[in-house]
Amino acid sequence: MITGPQIRGARAMIGMSIEDLAAHAGLSVETVAALEKGDWAGETRAMIDVRNTLEAHGIVFIASGNQDEGGPGIRLRARSSSDDGIRPENLNAANDD
C-alpha cells in the first residue's frame, strides 16, 4: 500500500488539487483527505482508486527498501521519446502557459 505523505507528495508533484484527485478517483474530498492523513482503515478500494488515478497521471510509487534505504517515495514516470515537450527554439508567446 501507499502512504498518506506519498499521496500528498504525488499531488504536489503533478500540481493536482485534492478536489481534482477526488473527482478523478470518483471519491469525496473528505475520503481523500482522510487517506492523506493515514486514516484508511476499511477504505482499501478508495486507496486503490487513488493510487490508480495518480499512476495514470504519471506517478510511480516506490516501496520502502526499493532503490536505496530512503523509505517509501514517489517519482514521475520517465517521458517517452515522443513526448519531449517544446524544443527551446520553438518557445514563443503563443505556446507560453
> Which tens digits make up the pLDDT trace of 36-51?
998 877 778 999 999 9
Nearest to 51 by CA among 67, 30, 27: 27
Per-residue model confidence (pLDDT) at position 95: 65
Per-residue model confidence (pLDDT) at position 85: 63
Q: What is the mean pLDDT of each run of 10 residues along the chain (97 residues)?
A: 92 95 96 91 89 95 69 79 63 68
Buried b (16+ CB within 10 A) or exposed e, 6-21: bbbbbbeeeebebebb
pTM over 0.85: no
